[in-house]
Amino acid sequence: MLDHKLRELADSDFYPFHMPGHKRQQTGLEDPYAIDITEIPGFDNLHDPQGLILEAMERMAGLYHAKKSYLLVGGSTCGNLTAVFSALPQKGCILMGRGSHKSIYHAAWLRQCRIVYTYPKVGQIGMIEGTSIAEYEQALQVNPDIGAIVVTSPTYEGMIEPLDEIVALAHARGIPVIVDAAHGAHLGFDPYFPKSPLESGADLVIMSLHKTLPALTQTAVLHVNENSLVSERQIETYLDVFETSSPSYVLMASICQCIRFLEEEKAAFGVYASRLQDFYKKCKSLEKIRVSSFPGQDPGKIVIDVSKTWLSGHALEEILLQKYHLVLEMSSFSYGLAMTSVMDSEEGFVRLFEALKEIDREASARDTDDPCRTGQVLYGRGQKVMEYHEAMEKAKERCALDQAEGRIAASSVAIYPPGVPLIVPGERIDQERIDLLNLAQKQGLTITGLVDHGLFVVI
């Protein structure tokens, strides 16, 4: 059973270049049974914090320079749902990145939003490389009914959006900006990393503590910035809807430990930064594999570009796993992603570099470049026929992938991770996307949203 397999993993030498950010290291939490309680007197209530939980919220807000910070035990998913519902009325118009996490899509669906997308630039290796400010300007000009903007920054791969400019544009029109910074809880603690989205003046910022900091899975925080255009009353109303009525005290204890770590162990971020710098420097010696952080990218996300080797990203992930016992966070057609945190050890970085050096040596002796893998247009503009929420409510039927061209999608289809949808409900399905999904299947990538290899389509 799963519990036994987890124990085996804990006892093995497999090294986690993936979430959670504690990297399977004990950070002082006791036996979980001993501290797993319900709302008994003296231990406060997450849904009406007045004592110890309020104190933790205040210390969290102090660390991130927020006006108020709500602790979450349902991940950034809970924070994103709450933020969208708080910022927009039912049937409001939302401007959101096409690369948004599914929780943002789900919020827009349930809020019955009219959705306008910004489309990111996609680089040579099929990775999202940020969105130009012109995308936002144009969308705001053409759609004067936009009531809220959602930006993902950093992205899964660590790309940072031009938040200062986006916030200035939005606030000039009285529109709130929500930043899904699920991958950015570690920002703002050392100058080697990009600045925190709160510094750019975003109204609401959601961060998963568990992704990049030493905290248990599902721990997160929703920050309300000074001068936020979204009211705290709205946020509290929807937190009550989306957060469990039995919040785990084990998870809340883990959040408290994370707060203490951030207060007391600031120097650890400097050590982490110099390990990363050293790693990137050594990687300059690799010939075929490219490992360099992009300008403006969070260097904590190590993108391993194998587009000039005989390997696909997925094959690289398999070799690192099977031969070197190094577990990546994800892989795509032409790259793998190693997710690091302040808890990574020197030994972890050395093992990753030595493995890449060996693979690179083999790559140099082999033929390169599989042209069908590179430069894929992963996130092209979709042709919207109806709103997402309308498509979800229509009668659906199943359709084989190869016969889906021209039909209207009624399910969201994504290569996972990162889970950014290639097709969303309400869009017409084109051959380009079908070809890409077939290729992804051939390469063994995980695809979500296909039923028995087919699609749900609306009649």
Residues forming contacts to ligand PLP in the complex (CB under 6 A) are 75-77, 80, 101, 103, 152, 156, 180, 182-183, 208, 220
For residue 305, the SS3 value is strand
Beta carbon of residue 12, minimum distance to ligand PLP (angstroms, whole number): 24
For residue 159, the SS3 value is strand
Beta carbon of residue 284, minimum distance to ligand PLP (angstroms, whole number): 29
Asked whether the beta carbons of 155 and 123 are under 8 A apart, the reply is: no
Strands lying side by side in the sheet with 454-458: 383-384, 427-428, 408-409, 454-458, 396-400
Beta carbon of residue 46, minimum distance to ligand PLP (angstroms, whole number): 16
Nearer to ligand PLP, 80 or 293 (CB): 80
Nearer to ligand PLP, 37 or 241 (CB): 241
Task: Name the region of 367 (left: φ>0; alpha: ψ -120 to 50; beta: rest).
Answer: beta
Beta carbon of residue 154, minimum distance to ligand PLP (angstroms, whole number): 8
Nearer to ligand PLP, 196 or 208 (CB): 208
Nearer to ligand PLP, 213 or 410 (CB): 213
Beta carbon of residue 419, minimum distance to ligand PLP (angstroms, whole number): 7
Beta carbon of residue 77, minimum distance to ligand PLP (angstroms, whole number): 3
Q: Output the DSSP codes for 415-445.
A: EETT--EEE-TTEEP-HHHHHHHHHHHHTT-
Among candidate residues 124, 127, 108, the one with its CA nearest the CA of residue 116: 108
DSSP 157: T
Cα–Cα distance between 111 and 93 in angstroms, integer? Answer: 10
Beta carbon of residue 377, minimum distance to ligand PLP (angstroms, whole number): 21
Q: Which residue of this chain has its Cβ atom nearest to ligand PLP in the complex?
A: 75
Beta carbon of residue 155, minimum distance to ligand PLP (angstroms, whole number): 7
Cα–Cα distance between 159 and 129 in angstroms, integer? Answer: 6
Beta carbon of residue 76, minimum distance to ligand PLP (angstroms, whole number): 3
For residue 290, the SS3 value is strand
Nearer to ligand PLP, 97 or 348 (CB): 97
How many residues are there in the chain? 459
Beta strand 204-208 pairing with 15-17: unpaired
Measured between alpha carbons, how far is residue 406 from residues 382, 409, 429 in Å? 12, 9, 5
Give, to the nearest 10 degrees, the angle between helix 102-110 and helix 75-87: 40
Nearer to ligand PLP, 140 or 220 (CB): 220
* CA 9 to chain CA mean position, Å: 25
Nearer to ligand PLP, 178 or 401 (CB): 178
Nearer to ligand PLP, 182 or 399 (CB): 182
Nearer to ligand PLP, 154 or 299 (CB): 154
Asked whether the beta carbons of 336 and 330 are under 8 A apart, the reply is: yes
